[in-house]
Structure 1
C-alpha cells in the first residue's frame, strides 16, 4: 500500500518519522515523505501570529495533489502543531476520504482528543505499530486491529484503545532513517517541490545548531530514552507508559558508524554531526571510548551533543573532545534547590552542575562555548528562587552561552498535572498550545537573565545587580514607570513589525523565513515597517 508521511517541523531531520519510513519501505510498502515546514509553530518565529489555518490554499492544494493516491496519511506532531495537523487531516479526509494516523508526543498523551480528528492514533514508539497497521489495512482487515498494541482507533462511533505497546530493546534491528530523495517533497517558497540535494543541503545548513556554527549538519540519535524523569519533560510520561521495561537503550557503535558513513557517502556536503540523544553520556565508559575511537577514524567531522549534570565525566569528555566534539548542550534549568526538587532534578544540583561545567571549560580552548539551558517564568518561583538561578549563573565558569526557555505546561508532563491542580492554567489553547518558549514576562530578573545569555556579562557585575539592596530598588514601585515605558517601547516595535508581509511569511516554507520572517517580495513589502522600527 502507499503511505504518505508528513512532517510539519521547520527542522526537516525528523529522525522518528524517517525511521518509520525506512521500516515501511523495508517491508515492501510504498512511502512518500512530505516536509511542510510550519514556522508559526516554532519558538524562533515569535513575530508571526498563530492561526488555525497554518497553510494557504495553494499549499494545501499541492499537498492534496500529492496525496491523491495514498492509502494512508501519517502526521507527526508536538502540541504546538495541533492546529497544523488538524488542517492537514481535514483537507485529505474531505478531498479523498483517506484515512489518517497521528503520532508523536501530543497524540501519545492526548489520544482521545486526537482521535476526534485522526482515524488512528499511535501511542509511544510506533515502529512496529505502524507496520502492523499497514500490513493489516493492505490485507483488507481494517476492522481487525484489536491486537495492535499502542493503537487507538475509531470503529464507527466508538473509539477503541488497545493495550499499551512494548519497547524494542535491539535498536539495531531497525533500519537507518530514510534520507533518500525518491518520492520526498518539501515546501519551499510557497511550492511543494521534489527534494533535491541542493534543497536538502540548504535546509540542513539552516538547522538550529548547524546555522549557529555555519555548518551543514546531519542530526541523528544513537539511543532512545532518558534516565531522568524531569517534571517539565515528556520522558516522565514515557517512563510511566513503559513501566518495568528498560527505557534507555542504545544502538551499537558499529550501527551508528555505518549510518554516518552511508549518509556522508551519499551527501558529501555534510560536514557536521548533531547527536540529539537525551542520554548520550549514559553509555558505559568502554562503549564511549570505542565510539570516540571509531568516530575519529571513520567520520572525523566536528559534532554536537547533549549532556546532563552528573553524567559528564572527564574521561568520557576528553575522549569525545579528541574525537571532534565541537560543542555540548547541558541542561542546567534552575539554581533553586526548592525548584530543582519540584522538577525532580535534586540529583543534578548546583554542586554537580558546577563540577560538570568545570570539566567542560577545561577543554574550552578546543571547543566552542557550551550551551546551558535555563527554564524561567515558573509561577511557583519566588523572587529568591529566581535570584538563586542568577547566583548560579554568576558562579558558572566561563566561557558559556545560555539558552533560556519560558516554561510551558505541556500536556502529559507531571508539571502540567500540577499546574492544572493548582489552577494555574485558564486557557490551554493560548497558554500552552499557542505559547512559544521564547516569550517572557517583563521582570527585573528576566532582564538580568537575558543580559547574561552571551556569557560575557562580568560575574562581579551580575553579583552586584542581584545584591539585596539593588534588587529591592529595581523591583520597587518607584521603578514601575520605567519598566512600563520600556515595555511600551518593545510593544511598539513588535506592532510595527507585525504586518501582512510577515503574516504571509509563515507559509513560505523557506529557510530565510526562519531567520527574517520574509523572502523576496515580502522583504520589499515589509521594508518601510522595519525602517520605521529602526528609527
Structure 2
C-alpha cells in the first residue's frame, strides 16, 4: 500500500530533513510498502497531486502549533477524498490526543510511531481491523478506540531500525543544496524544563526515555549518508549529544578517524568540562548549541526549572572557546513574570559566555507543560491556543504589562550584545523611564537607528555575530 506524508515548512526558517518520517518511510519500504513525501507549499494544486499519487493513507507528523496547518490541510483533503484515512503522529497528538475529535482526523499515534505505523500499514493492506494496535487511537463512525501505549524502543531496537530514507526528501533539492545532513545518535532528554514536553514524555516512557544507539551503528549511518548525499556538514539532532559522557568520549575519536566531517550538535552547558570540550574539538565539532534561554539565574531556576548556574554557563562556554568550538545559544523572551531588566540579563550572560550566534524566540505556553498550565491558571492567555502563531518568532497573545517592550527588545537585544557598553543605558531606558515619556521614545528611536546602521559598518565586521530572529523591524 502507499503512504503519503505531508510535510509543511510553515514554521521553518530554512529547509531541513525530517528524520522522523524518513525513518518511518525506510521501515515501511523495507516491508514492501510505498512512501512519498509532499510539501504542500511547493505544489500548485495539492488536491490534484494527491489524486495523482492515489495513496491509501495520508500521514502528518506534527508539533504543537504546526497542528493548525495540518488540520486545515486534512479538512480540505477529507472533502475531496473522504475514503482515504488520515493519521497524525508526533508531539502534538502525543500530548494533546483530543485532536482525534477533529472531523478530518481518523487516527492518531501517541509516542513512538515506528512499530505502530508498520502494523497499521500491514493491517490495512490485508484488509484487517486495525482498531486494536497499541499507540493508536482510532475513530470510526464517531466512536474512538483508545489503545494502550507500547514501551519505547530500546537502544538495541533503535540500532535495528533501517537507516533514514534519504530519497524521500531528495525530490526537494533545496533541502540538500547546502551539503548539511542530519543524524541522531539517540533519543530523549533527561531534563524537565518547565516550557518543554520532556517531563511528560519521561512519565510516558517509564524509565526508558533517554537511549543511545551503538557507536558502530551511528558511524555506519553517517558513512551511508555521506555516500548517498555528498554530505559536507553533519547536523546531530539529538537533544543532548553529550548526554552520556562515557559514550561520547569513546565516540569522538572514532568519528574523527572514520568520518572527520565538521558537525554541529546540541548540548547542555552544565555537562561541559575541559575533557568534553576537548573531545568536541578533536572530533571536529564546529558549533555547539545549547539552551541558555534566560540570563537571570534566580528567574531561570524558578520559572524555567533550569537548575544550572550562571557560573556553570560561563565556565562551560569558556572551555568550548578555549578549544575552538563556536557557540550557538537558544534564548526566549516574554515569560510570565519576566521584566525588561530580566530580558537584558539574558543579553549580558550571552556576552559573558562569549556567544558566537544567539537565537531569540518568543516564549509560547504549550498546553500540558508546567509553564503552559501556569499561564492558564493565572489567566494570562488572551486567546485560545488554536489562535497562537505557528512560528516561535511571532509573539503569542499572552497578557503581560511589558508586551510592547518585549517586541522592541526582540530586535534591540542584538545591539546590546554586539556593543555591551550600551546595555546599562538600555537597562536604564527600559526600567527607569516612563514608557510614554518623550525622552524614552527618543532613546528607543535612537537605539533602532543604531541597530539599523552602526551594526553594518565595516569597522565592526569582526565583532561576534548575532542572528536577528522574530518580528518585523519596528523602526
Residue 6 (structure 2) pairs with residue 6 (structure 1): yes
Which one scores higher on RCO, CA 8 angstroms, separation ≥ 6?
1
Distance 1:305 1:298, change over 3 A: same
CA contact (8 A) 2:344 2:423 kept: no
Matching residue of 1:496: none
Q: 1:37, 1:322 → 2: CA distance?
A: 41
SS across alignment from 1:282: coil
Mapping for residues 358-373 of structure 1, pairs under 5 Å: 358-364=318-324, 367=325, 369-373=326-330
Q: 1:75, 1:319 → 2: CA distance?
A: 38
Report the alpha carbon displacement of residue 135 of structure 1 after superposing the two structures with TM: 1.8
Q: 2:127, 2:50 → 1: CA distance?
A: 24
- Out of 32, 35, 58, which is 1:28 matched to? 32
Residue 188 (structure 2) pairs with residue 225 (structure 1): yes
- Out of 167, 176, 181, which is 1:204 matched to? 176
Q: 1:480, 1:302 → 2: CA distance?
A: 46
Residue 215 (structure 2) pairs with residue 253 (structure 1): yes
Distance 1:297 1:120, change over 3 A: same
SS across alignment from 1:386: helix
Q: 1:435, 1:288 → 2: CA distance?
A: 33
Q: 1:475, 1:62 → 2: CA distance?
A: 53
CA contact (8 A) 1:107 1:123 kept: yes
- Out of 395, 404, 411, which is 2:360 matched to? 404
Report the alpha carbon displacement of residue 65 of structure 1 after superposing the two structures with TM: 2.6
Matching residue of 2:142: 157
Per the normalisation by structure 2, the TM-score is 0.83
Instruction: Note the alpha carbon deviations across 1:361-382, whole angstroms, 9 max, x for none.
Output: 2123xx4x41111111113213
Q: 1:350, 1:449 → 2: CA distance?
A: 22
Report the alpha carbon displacement of residue 338 of structure 1 after superposing the two structures with TM: 3.7
Matching residue of 2:460: none
Q: 1:474, 1:324 → 2: CA distance?
A: 50
Report the alpha carbon displacement of residue 125 of structure 1 after superposing the two structures with TM: 0.8
Q: 1:430, 1:87 → 2: CA distance?
A: 12
Matching residue of 1:313: 273
> 5+ unaligned residues in a row in structure 1: which ranges?
39-54, 186-194, 206-214, 490-532
Residue 247 (structure 2) pairs with residue 283 (structure 1): no
Matching residue of 1:376: 333
CA contact (8 A) 2:182 2:234 kept: yes
Mapping for residues 5-154 of structure 1, pairs under 5 Å: 5-9=5-9, 10=12, 11-37=15-41, 58-68=44-54, 70-96=55-81, 97-116=83-102, 117-142=104-129, 144-146=130-132, 148-154=133-139
Q: 2:45, 2:430 → 1: CA distance?
A: 54
SS across alignment from 1:379: coil
Per the normalisation by structure 1, the TM-score is 0.74
Instruction: Note the alpha carbon deviations across 1:130-174, whole angstroms, 9 max, x for none.
Output: 1111222222222x522x222111132211211123101121021
- Out of 420, 429, 432, which is 1:459 matched to? 420
Mapping for residues 267-278 of structure 1, pairs under 5 Å: 267-268=229-230, 270-278=231-239
Instruction: Note the alpha carbon deviations across 1:301-347, whole angstroms, 9 max, x for none.
Output: 11000111211222122122112111111111112234322345342
Q: 2:418, 2:180 → 1: CA distance?
A: 30
SS across alignment from 1:370: strand
Instruction: Note the alpha carbon deviations across 1:200-226, whole angstroms, 9 max, x for none.
Output: 3x3233xxxxxxxxx420012111100
Report the alpha carbon displacement of residue 17 of structure 1 after superposing the two structures with TM: 0.8
CA contact (8 A) 2:40 2:46 kept: no
- Please provide the CA RMSD for this pair: 3.1
Instruction: Note the alpha carbon deviations across 1:461-506, whole angstroms, 9 max, x for none.
Output: 324543x5884137573445448979999xxxxxxxxxxxxxxxxx
Q: 2:429, 2:415 → 1: CA distance?
A: 26
CA contact (8 A) 1:76 1:103 kept: yes
- Out of 348, 361, 371, which is 1:415 matched to? 371
Report the alpha carbon displacement of residue 457 of structure 1 after superposing the two structures with TM: 2.4
Q: 2:446, 2:412 → 1: CA distance?
A: 15
SS across alignment from 1:121: strand
Distance 1:203 1:455, change over 3 A: farther
Matching residue of 2:161: 174
Distance 1:314 1:488, change over 3 A: closer
SS across alignment from 1:348: coil
CA contact (8 A) 1:3 1:32 kept: yes
SS across alignment from 2:422: helix
SS across alignment from 1:16: helix
Instruction: Note the alpha carbon deviations across 1:73-99, whole angstroms, 9 max, x for none.
Output: 111122332232123323433333101
Q: 1:425, 1:118 → 2: CA distance?
A: 27
Q: 1:481, 1:469 → 2: CA distance?
A: 9
Report the alpha carbon displacement of residue 227 of structure 1 after superposing the two structures with TM: 0.9
Q: 1:421, 1:257 → 2: CA distance?
A: 47
